[in-house]
Amino acid sequence: MSFASFALLTRSRIFTLVFILVLPIILSACGGGSTPAPTPPPPPPPPPKQVSPGFKTDTSTAQFLSRATFGATKAQINTLTDTEVSDWILAEFAKPATLYRTRISDLLQVLPQGELLFVSSVTNLYLDEAIAGNDQLRQRMVLALSEIVVASSDGTLNNLPATMAHYVDILSENAFGNYRDVLDDITYSPAMSVYLTYLANEKGNMATGRVPDENYAREILQLFSIGLVELEMDGTAKTDGQGQQIDTYDNSDITGLAKVFTGLSVRGSNFYNIFRECPDFQKCPRFHQPLEMFDQFHSELEKTFLGLTIPANTNGTDSIQMALDEIFNHPNVAPFVARQLIQRFVTSHPKPEYVRRVATAFENGRFTLPNGTAVGTGQRGDLKATLAAILLDANALRDPATTPEDFGKIREPMLRFINWARTFGETTPDSGEEFLLFDMTRFLGQHPFRAKHVFNFFEPEHVAPGTETGAAGLTIPELQIINESSSMSYINFMNAFIYDFSNTRSQNPDAGVNGDYTPQLAIADDAQVLVDELDLLLTGKQLSTVTKDRIVGLLNEIPIDAGSQAEDRISRVRVAISMVMSSPSYIVQR
Query: Which pLDDT tens digits describe the chain residue by residue (590 residues)?
Result: 333 333 333 333 333 333 333 333 332 333 444 455 667 777 766 555 567 889 999 999 999 999 999 999 999 999 999 999 999 999 999 999 999 999 999 999 999 888 899 999 999 999 999 999 999 999 999 999 999 999 999 999 999 999 999 999 999 999 999 999 999 999 999 999 999 999 999 999 999 999 999 999 999 999 999 999 999 999 999 999 999 999 999 999 999 999 999 999 999 888 998 877 787 888 888 899 999 999 999 999 999 999 999 999 999 999 999 999 999 999 999 999 999 999 999 999 999 999 999 999 999 999 999 999 999 999 999 999 999 999 999 999 988 888 898 999 999 999 999 999 999 999 999 999 999 999 899 999 999 999 999 999 999 999 999 999 999 999 999 999 998 899 999 999 999 999 999 988 888 888 999 999 999 999 999 999 999 999 999 999 999 999 999 999 999 999 999 889 999 999 999 999 999 999 999 999 99
265/369 Cα distance (integer angstroms): 43
CA 110 from centroid of its chain's CA atoms: 33
Residue of 117, 115, 114, 120 whose CA lies nearest to 106: 117
Question: 229-249 as b/e, with b when 16 or more CB fall inside 10 Å?
Answer: ebbbbbbeeeeeeeeeeeebb
153/124 Cα distance (integer angstroms): 13
> What's the burial of 27, exposed, middle or buried (CB within 10 Å: 0-12/13-18/19+)?
exposed
DSSP letters of 342-405?
HHHHT-SS--HHHHHHHHHHHHHT-EE-TTS-EES-SSTTBHHHHHHHHHTSTTTTS-GGGS-T
Residue of 580, 558, 577, 564 whose CA lies nearest to 425: 577
Kindly report the pTM of this predicted structure.
0.90
Give pLDDT, residue 38. Answer: 67
Sign, CA dihedral 88-86-478-217, equals negative
Cβ-contact 55, 81 below 8 angstroms: yes
> What's the burial of 533, exposed, middle or buried (CB within 10 Å: 0-12/13-18/19+)?
middle
Residue of 132, 149, 221 whose CA lies nearest to 191: 149
Give pLDDT, residue 39. Answer: 75
76/85 Cα distance (integer angstroms): 12
Give pLDDT, residue 281. Answer: 84
85/176 Cα distance (integer angstroms): 17
Residue of 419, 344, 514 whose CA lies nearest to 130: 419
CA 94 from centroid of its chain's CA atoms: 17
Sign, CA dihedral 139-141-146-149, equals negative
Cα distances from 414 to residues 226, 407, 443, in angstroms, run 28, 21, 10
Give pLDDT, residue 31. Answer: 40
Give pLDDT, residue 555. Answer: 97
Give pLDDT, residue 562. Answer: 87
Give pLDDT, residue 284. Answer: 87
Give pLDDT, residue 400. Answer: 80
Q: Return the domain boundaries, the chain.
A: 178-331, 517-590
